[in-house]
Structure 1
Amino acid sequence: MYLVAIAWAYVALTMAAAEALSPQGTLLGAFITLLLYGVLPLGLLLYILGTPGRKRRRRAAESLAEGDASGHAAAGPAEGLAAEREEA
């Protein structure tokens, strides 16, 4: 996911640089190019592709909160493992 975002940002940045350095180009045109071809599409793409992760984190937080509210210990990664012995 991030490789595509990095490549798209590189292309948008080079397009903006070409616009700024062109004899007919302007800095305003370069800024608008960077904004409309780079920042806005990348922000939307990363927001949409990050949705499953946000849902997963929200569900984990809700299940942890439900476990705390019921009075039971929350299930952790060490559940089901034998207790460690202390040496005297």
Structure 2
Amino acid sequence: MYLIAIAWGYVALMMALAEATSSQGSILGAIVTLLLYGVLPISIVLYLLGTPHRKKARRRQEQLEREAATAESGQADGRDHAPADMLAPVRKEP
């Protein structure tokens, strides 16, 4: 995935360099070329290709939060009944 982005960035950089050094080109044209042919498409493609990874990370975070909430509440199975091991301690009368 990153190899294609690096290659496309190289091509866009060479296009911008050719624009800047051309007798009919300009520095402003080179900057616009680099941004519109390089940075913008690469950022869109990397964002779209990173969507499955972000989904997986979000699901993993939600799972960890659910496990933490279950451990905090003392429920081993996540249901809303009173746990069996949470009995009141027996103490002696004063």
> What range is the shorter-chain TM-score in?
0.7 to 0.9
Query: In the aligned structure 2, how far is the partner of 1:31 from the partner of 1:17?
Result: 9
Instruction: Give the length in aligned residue pairs.
Output: 72
Q: TM-score, normalised by structure 2?
A: 0.75
Query: Which residue pairs with 2:34 in the alignment?
Result: 34
Query: Does residue 51 of the first structure (1) align with residue 51 of the second (2)?
Result: yes
Moved over 3 A (4+): none
Query: Does residue 7 of the first structure (1) align with residue 11 of the second (2)?
Result: no
- Structure 2 alignment gaps of length 5 or more: 75-94
Matches within 5 A, 1:61-72: 61-71=61-71
Query: In the aligned structure 2, how far is the partner of 1:51 from the partner of 1:65?
Result: 21
Query: In the aligned structure 2, how far is the partner of 1:31 from the partner of 1:5?
Result: 18
Among the aligned pairs, what percent are the same residue?
Answer: 61
The SS at the match of 1:23 is coil
Structure (1 or 2) with the larger CA radius of gyration: 2
Measured against aligned partners, the alpha-carbon deviations of 1:5-36 in whole angstroms (never above 9, x if no partner) come to 00000000000000000000000000000000
The SS at the match of 2:47 is helix
Shift of 1:70: 0.9
Structural RMSD (CA): 0.8
